Chains A and B, each alone.
Chain A
Amino acid sequence: MNNISEITHQLLIITTDICIAVISISIIMLLYRVIKGPTNPDRAVALDAIGINLMALVGLVAVLLVTTQLNDVILLTGILLFIGTIAIAKFLEKGVIIDRELD
């Protein structure tokens, strides 16, 4: 019994490590897109994708550290990513983020 629990634990850690490595690689590849471009919408989408990867990464770290403290971070990242992407998209589309009232 004890032995199985030990093996599961090891398996979990190894899996998490592999996942972290894969996500890191994907972040690096997305970074290439951010830097290279060639257009700003490319970069914006890549940044958004990096953010989602970060959520995953934080989740994996939380598993690795056996903590629930980081759940806030994951949720907040989600919201902020959404807001940030919307803002960037609006900026790219209209050139402004906050419209002036038409008076």
Chain B
Amino acid sequence: MLYAVLIPLLIACFIPYLSKFKDKIHTGIFVLFVPLSIFIYFLQFIDTNFVPVAQGYSWIPSLNISLDFYLDGLSLLFVLLISGIGTLVTLYSIFYLHKSERLGHFYVYLLMFMTAMLGVVLSDNVFVLYTFWELTSISSFLLIGYWHYRERSRYGALKSMLITVFGGLSMLGGFILLTIITGSTSIQEMISQTDVILNSPYLPLVMTFIFLGAFTKSAQFPFHIWLPDAMEAPTPVSAYLHSATMVKAGIYLIARFSPVFSAYEWFFIIVSGIGIITLCWGSYMAVRQTDLKGILAFSTISQLGMIMTMLGFGTKAAAFAAVFHILNHATFKGSLFMVAGIIDHETGSRDIRKLGGLMTLMPISATLALFGTFSMAGVPLPFLNGFYSKEMFFDVSLDLSSTSLFIAEIMKTSIPYLAVLGSIFTFVYSMYLFFGTFTGEKHLDELPSKPHEAPIGMLISPALLIVGVIIIGLIPNLVNEPLLAHAAKAISGEEVHKHIAFWHGFEAPLYMSLIVVIFGSILYIFRKKWTDIYLLIPGTLSLNKVYDRILDGSEKYSRKITNSYMDGSLRKYIALIMIATVLVTFTTMLTTDGFTIKTDDLAKVTVSEILIASVMVAAALGTIFARNNVAAILILGVVGFGLSVLFVLYRAPDLALTQLVVETITVALFLLCFYHLPNLRPRTESFKTKSVNAIIAISFGALMTMVAISAHSSKWFGAISEYFIENSYELGGGANMVNVILVDFRGIDTLFEIVVLGIAAFGIYAMIKLRSDKGVE
């Protein structure tokens, strides 16, 4: 299984070389065999007596992360969808993309995506799952932005990236929490520890995080806004990623974790609630679109909402209906996207207002679209798979067990009505999509190119998918036991056996379907009369605007905040640093009860010390108030001298010597520089600034004094100087203890001090000699 997952990535490494021959041979032909062989490999697993297969490969054993693959019914369904539709999409793209495009890039991204998607659905380890999940986000980003010279493509790519990566990261948080709760990184282990998870206090947090990941990826309300903008991608990408595979990753995630969470009563409320809102909103908004792919995008959103609703029900029958609709949606939506691509390719336009009357010009495409749209609408005909899953949806929505929660009760009564409402709009846009494009008047003069039937190669893939639609429609039990039953078992955790039949007798689901058809037809026929409602709802309100405002606003406000303190004034930065130091140190000292004053350990204060100290204080104050450069430096000299005298008083002759030399050199250096510096101007700041500065300075000084006093007052250990006193002559061979410490006991410090001086010297030399404006002179 490892090879099946990684082969697309390996082949992708060779694509750049293969794409050099693209003038002779279309690069897609090489790629075609990759998903095809994966498809054939996984086809062998379809069996009524299928048992899950697990395989593990070591990756990071120390972190308990290994490439564990687990193939059960659900994974198998998704793997077959990914590789099967992947094959068809590759085939379609061979005819869709011209050889002048950058084919190498396209197929590298596509294969990357294929690996990522196979990895997502096969991984048993949550962190491996997350790795592949992010890879799908990145490859999807690259594919949406494939025509990167278009503004809209870049916008769509960025938007989808931001939203899906936001969800992906929160999902990672959920996974980490789950790992901590269960002590395992394997999903199957987690499922076996369902009780532990359900009793954990972090359960709501885990669910929120994981659901955010699933809802953003699967374009659920209100995160659906990236999907319509992702339609800027080439059509094969839209067909593959944004209808059949990637957007179902979130569905997969919910389905995968539904054995864990479905016992929790909020699972139904959140998943079904969001799902039903998405279903209604998506189908309602789809009617408003004028772009073929726009309609299909909102239709995808709404169908995903429908699958999500069914997953939220958590019953056996609902799980079965959900997987059935996953399969059905992938078939008819994939073909519809391809047909939309064909229309775009052959007429040069995707605007449904310009199209019309293409039935006679493009009869094959029209036939394919007819089956696709009618299946999507759920028209009750025995050869359309969409009808079966829609009726199952009605059926399971009527059959919900009751719980104690009030919200859940309300939802239970309203969901069947909302389902019918959403389906009515689904019917309307499906009819609009088909009849608006293929019947009515022709506007041939408005179209950029003269429409004609597509080349046969382009038609193969959608035709195969439509054949799939019809086969599943005619003999639904072909996929029932071998494939869907196992997938439903993986979701609900119990054996599921269901017989799909066209005819149930006169029961509620059938009446609901009939209501959908009747009201849908009425609404479609009179749609010109009521489309003004879109001016009212959503009117000018739009979630895209919210997104744009959040994005612009965050940029604007972060810039504002940054500009408010990063204004280039070093004085301000110093003030901020000092304030922060004061606040942090003061709070720390206060909370840890660090301020102590003890007087029992103090030496006697002598007169000379007091005098020297007062001289230094006076000189320091004089420096602050000096109005003249040279005066300031001369007064500062007094402080230096005072310090050396203090060293003398405290019996540190070496320090005093060094201090004197350094002081003299510093004065000389200051004088050297001051010649080139402007004279100190009289301080022009306002009194307020001055007093704020003074407060900061005084509090900083006071704090440091307090810290020093406290440090002196709380000695916990004796000094180690006894050792040096005893051993400086014995071991170091010198009577001058300071110097023995400097060069013997702690010589390495001295070494690096020397290095510092060397670097400073080199730096000064370099700064003086290597001036970039030297050549100008």
- B interface residues, tally (CB under 8 Å): 35
User: A28–B675 contact, CB under 8 A?
Assistant: no
Nearest residue in B to A30 (C-beta to C-beta)?
Answer: B638
* A97 CA to B673 CA, complexed, in Å: 10
Q: Which residues of B sit under 8 angstroms from A72, Cβ to Cβ?
A: 653, 657
Q: Given the interface contacts A40-B631, A50-B641, does A88 sit within 8 Å of B671 by beta carbon?
A: yes
User: A87–B671 contact, CB under 8 A?
Assistant: yes
* A34 CA to B645 CA, complexed, in Å: 18
Interface positions, chain A 26-55, Cβ under 8 Å from B, are 27-28, 31, 34-35, 37, 40, 43-44, 47, 50-51, 54
Nearest residue in B to A62 (C-beta to C-beta)?
Answer: B648
User: A91–B608 contact, CB under 8 A?
Assistant: no
User: B651–A35 contact, CB under 8 A?
Assistant: no
Q: Which residues of B sit under 8 angstroms from A69, Cβ to Cβ?
A: 651, 653
Interface positions, chain B 167-207, Cβ under 8 Å from A, are none
Interface of B, helix, strand, loop or mixed by DSSP: helix
Q: Given the interface contacts A31-B615, A31-B638, A44-B634, does A96 sit within 8 Å of B675 by beta carbon?
A: yes
User: A21–B656 contact, CB under 8 A?
Assistant: no
Interface positions, chain A 45-79, Cβ under 8 Å from B, are 47, 50-51, 54, 57-58, 61, 65, 67, 69-70, 72-73, 76-77
Select B630's contact among A21, A67, A91, beta carbons within 8 Å.
Answer: A91
User: B671–A35 contact, CB under 8 A?
Assistant: no
Interface positions, chain A 3-38, Cβ under 8 Å from B, are 17, 20-21, 24-25, 27-28, 31, 34-35, 37
Q: Which residues of A sit under 8 angstroms from B628, Cβ to Cβ?
A: 37, 40
User: B608–A73 contact, CB under 8 A?
Assistant: no
Select A57's contact among B645, B668, B671, beta carbons within 8 Å.
Answer: B645
Q: Which residues of B sit under 8 angstroms from A17, Cβ to Cβ?
A: 607
User: B671–A70 contact, CB under 8 A?
Assistant: no
* A70 CA to B217 CA, complexed, in Å: 79
Nearest residue in A to B661 (C-beta to C-beta)?
Answer: A80
* A83 CA to B671 CA, complexed, in Å: 13
Is the CB of B408 closer than 8 A to any CB of chain A?
no
Nearest chain A CB to B423 CB, angstrom units:
92
Q: Which residues of A sit under 8 angstroms from B618, Cβ to Cβ?
A: 28, 31, 35
User: A92–B630 contact, CB under 8 A?
Assistant: yes
User: B635–A34 contact, CB under 8 A?
Assistant: yes
Select B664's contact among A24, A40, A83, beta carbons within 8 Å.
Answer: A83
User: A34–B671 contact, CB under 8 A?
Assistant: no
Q: Which residues of A sit under 8 angstroms from B46, Cβ to Cβ?
A: none
* A17 CA to B653 CA, complexed, in Å: 20
Nearest residue in A to B614 (C-beta to C-beta)?
Answer: A28
Q: Given the interface contacts A21-B607, A76-B657, A97-B668, does A43 sit within 8 Å of B631 by beta carbon?
A: yes
Is the CB of B612 closer than 8 A to any CB of chain A?
yes
Nearest chain B CB to A62 CB, angstrom units:
8
* A88 CA to B607 CA, complexed, in Å: 32
Is the CB of A98 closer than 8 A to any CB of chain B?
yes
Is the CB of B123 closer than 8 A to any CB of chain A?
no
Is the CB of B637 closer than 8 A to any CB of chain A?
yes
Q: Which residues of B sit under 8 angstroms from A27, Cβ to Cβ?
A: 611, 615
Nearest chain B CB to A48 CB, angstrom units:
10
Interface positions, chain B 662-681, Cβ under 8 Å from A, are 663-664, 667-668, 671-672, 675
Q: Which residues of B sit under 8 angstroms from A80, Cβ to Cβ?
A: 660-661, 663-664
Nearest chain A CB to B672 CB, angstrom units:
6
User: A40–B648 contact, CB under 8 A?
Assistant: no
Q: Which residues of A sit under 8 angstroms from B648, Cβ to Cβ?
A: 57-58, 61, 70, 73
User: A40–B634 contact, CB under 8 A?
Assistant: yes
Nearest residue in A to B658 (C-beta to C-beta)?
Answer: A76
User: B630–A84 contact, CB under 8 A?
Assistant: no
User: A73–B675 contact, CB under 8 A?
Assistant: no
User: A37–B631 contact, CB under 8 A?
Assistant: yes
User: B611–A50 contact, CB under 8 A?
Assistant: no
* A35 CA to B637 CA, complexed, in Å: 11
Nearest residue in A to B610 (C-beta to C-beta)?
Answer: A24
B641-655 toward A: CB 8 Å interface, digit per residue (1/0)? 100110011010100
User: A58–B645 contact, CB under 8 A?
Assistant: yes
Nearest residue in B to A40 (C-beta to C-beta)?
Answer: B630
Output the residue of A20, A35, A69 with the most chain B CB within 10 A.
A35
Nearest chain A CB to B94 CB, angstrom units:
77
* A35 CA to B630 CA, complexed, in Å: 11
Q: Which residues of A sit under 8 angstroms from B663, Cβ to Cβ?
A: 80
Q: Which residues of B sit under 8 angstroms from A97, Cβ to Cβ?
A: 668, 671-672
Nearest chain A CB to B634 CB, angstrom units:
4
Is the CB of B457 closer than 8 A to any CB of chain A?
no
Is the CB of B622 closer than 8 A to any CB of chain A?
yes
Is the CB of B352 closer than 8 A to any CB of chain A?
no
Q: Which residues of A sit under 8 angstroms from B638, Cβ to Cβ?
A: 31, 34, 47, 50
Interface positions, chain B 439-476, Cβ under 8 Å from A, are none
* A91 CA to B631 CA, complexed, in Å: 12
Select A47's contact among B614, B637, B660, beta carbons within 8 Å.
Answer: B637
Q: Which residues of A sit under 8 angstroms from B661, Cβ to Cβ?
A: 76, 80
Q: Which residues of B sit under 8 angstroms from A76, Cβ to Cβ?
A: 657, 660-661
Q: Given the interface contacts A31-B638, A34-B638, A95-B675, does A84 sit within 8 Å of B645 by beta carbon?
A: no
* A24 CA to B667 CA, complexed, in Å: 23
B124-160 toward A: CB 8 Å interface, digit per residue (1/0)? 0000000000000000000000000000000000000
* A40 CA to B671 CA, complexed, in Å: 12
Nearest residue in A to B630 (C-beta to C-beta)?
Answer: A40
Is the CB of B77 closer than 8 A to any CB of chain A?
no
* A17 CA to B607 CA, complexed, in Å: 9
* A43 CA to B635 CA, complexed, in Å: 8
User: B653–A24 contact, CB under 8 A?
Assistant: no
Q: Which residues of A sit under 8 angstroms from B664, Cβ to Cβ?
A: 80, 83-84
Is the CB of B619 closer than 8 A to any CB of chain A?
yes
Output the residue of B619, B631, B657, B672 with the most chain A CB within 10 A.
B631
Q: Which residues of B sit under 8 angstroms from A43, Cβ to Cβ?
A: 630-631, 634-635
Q: Which residues of A sit under 8 angstroms from B630, Cβ to Cβ?
A: 40, 43, 88, 91-92
* A67 CA to B657 CA, complexed, in Å: 16
Q: Which residues of A sit under 8 angstroms from B656, Cβ to Cβ?
A: 58, 70, 73
Nearest residue in B to A83 (C-beta to C-beta)?
Answer: B664
User: A54–B641 contact, CB under 8 A?
Assistant: yes
Q: Given the interface contacts A17-B607, A61-B648, A84-B668, does A51 sit within 8 Å of B641 by beta carbon?
A: yes
Output the residue of A44, A54, A97 with the most chain B CB within 10 A.
A54
User: A34–B607 contact, CB under 8 A?
Assistant: no
User: A35–B635 contact, CB under 8 A?
Assistant: yes
Select A54's contact among B619, B645, B657, beta carbons within 8 Å.
Answer: B645
Output the residue of A61, A84, A87 with the most chain B CB within 10 A.
A84
Seed contacts A17-B607, A80-B661, A98-B672; 4 additional CB < 8 Å A-B pairs: A31-B615, A47-B634, A47-B637, A80-B663
A-B contacts, 20 of them at CB < 8 A, read A17-B607, A24-B608, A24-B615, A31-B615, A34-B622, A34-B634, A34-B635, A34-B638, A35-B619, A37-B628, A37-B631, A40-B628, A40-B630, A47-B637, A51-B641, A76-B661, A77-B660, A83-B664, A87-B668, A88-B634
Instruction: Give the 5 A-B CB pairs with smallest separation, nearest first.
Output: A35-B622, A24-B611, A43-B634, A80-B664, A91-B671
> Chain A residues in contact with chain B, CB under 8 A?
17, 20-21, 24-25, 27-28, 31, 34-35, 37, 40, 43-44, 47, 50-51, 54, 57-58, 61, 65, 67, 69-70, 72-73, 76-77, 80, 83-84, 87-88, 91-92, 95-98
